[in-house]
């Protein structure tokens, strides 16, 4: 697998652990972003195949960022992550254009791959 990934999260420790985990499972992490605005600009600049996107960002919420990223042709897949449970977000995940949601504690290459197929 050589899926390119942009990790978006305002916590450096999560970005670092997600990078190690995904790279160890064959993903190619090509960039990181700390907020919604940089997520949108880095997605345009780097053109990743996947954006791993935190729901709670300091400037724009992840649902809005996902809608912006997926709202044009040739957009990458987006998978939302949060320390909260998916039931806290109701229909927001499906409305955002994201492929799905993975709780941060359950992040794995296998869970990501399941949402990409």
- Residue-level pLDDT at 88: 72
Residue 76: closest CA among 68, 84, 88, 85: 68
Task: Tell whether the model's pLDDT for residue 85 goes beyond 80.
Answer: no
Q: Which domain holds residue 105?
A: 4-116
As a 3-state breakdown, the chain gives helix, strand, coil percent values, each rounded to 5, of 45, 20, 35
Report pTM.
Answer: 0.94
Edge-to-edge order in the sheet of strand 4-8:
28-33, 4-8, 50-54, 77-82, 100-103
Q: What is the CATH number of the domain that holds 102?
A: 3.40.50.2300
What pLDDT is recorded for position 90?
Answer: 76
Taking only the tens place, the pLDDT of each residue in 18-44 is 999 999 999 999 999 999 999 999 999
Domain count across the chain: 1
Which pLDDT does position 91 carry in this prediction? 81
- Residue 1's pLDDT band, with cuts at 50, 70 and 90, is low
């Amino acid at each position: 697998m050589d899926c390119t990934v942009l990790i978006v999260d305002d916590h450096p420790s999560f970005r670092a652990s997600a990078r190690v985990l995904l790279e160890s499972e064959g993903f190619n992490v090509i960039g990181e972003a700390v907020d919604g605005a940089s997520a949108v600009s880095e997605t345009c600049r780097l053109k990743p195949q996947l954006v791993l996107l935190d729901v709670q960002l300091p400037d724009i919420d992840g649902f809005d960022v996902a809608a912006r990223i997926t709202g044009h042709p040739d957009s990458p897949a987006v998978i939302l992550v949060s320390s909260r449970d998916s039931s806290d977000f109701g229909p927001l995940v499906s409305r955002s254009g994201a492929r799905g949601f993975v709780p941060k504690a359950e992040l794995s290459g296998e869970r990501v791959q399941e949402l990409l197929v």
